[in-house]
């Protein structure tokens, strides 16, 4: 189990070397735990989180449907802050399952990744 976490951290470090979020085009970071999924919009220049959404308060059933709701909710928060385009940071996770569901839902809701 610990080896998986170390490998994910290494992958994330490689990804973060190339992906930088600005105030106009923030980094759309996704974190997936065994039970929950979280999404953030981050301005790396200032070191601030612009918006954050998690599935903790959602009433949807199933992990994938919660991930879709998180993607839609983060897009709504981005629209409130007049953000249309972001760079996607999968956090070292495979672009598959819940991580993919968040990204696809955000795209469908109007966010440009």
Which pTM was predicted? 0.91
Kindly report the CATH number assigned to the domain that includes residue 42: 3.30.420.100
CA 2 to chain CA centroid, Å, is 23
Identify the band that residue 59 occupies on the pLDDT scale cut at 50, 70 and 90: confident
50's tokens: 């612009």
Tell me the pLDDT tens digit for each residue of 12-47.
999 999 999 998 999 999 999 999 999 999 999 999
> What is the residue range of 95's domain?
2-109
Identify the band that residue 52 occupies on the pLDDT scale cut at 50, 70 and 90: very high
DSSP per-residue letters across 63-105: HHHHHHHHHHHHHHHHHHTT--B-EEE-TTS-SSTHHHHHHHH
Q: How many domains does the chain have?
A: 1
């Amino acid at each position: 189990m610990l080896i998986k976490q170390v490998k994910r951290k290494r992958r994330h470090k490689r990804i973060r070397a190339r992906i930088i979020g600005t105030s106009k085009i923030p980094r759309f970071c996704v974190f997936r735990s065994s039970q929950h999924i979280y999404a953030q919009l981050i301005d790396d220049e200032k070191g601030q989180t612009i918006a954050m959404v998690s599935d903790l308060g959602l009433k949807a059933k199933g992990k994938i449907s919660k991930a879709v709701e998180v993607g839609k909710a983060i897009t709504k928060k981005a629209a409130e802050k007049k953000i249309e385009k972001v760079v996607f940071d999968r956090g070292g996770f495979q672009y598959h399952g819940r991580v993919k569901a968040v990204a696809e839902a955000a795209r469908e809701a109007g966010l440009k990744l």
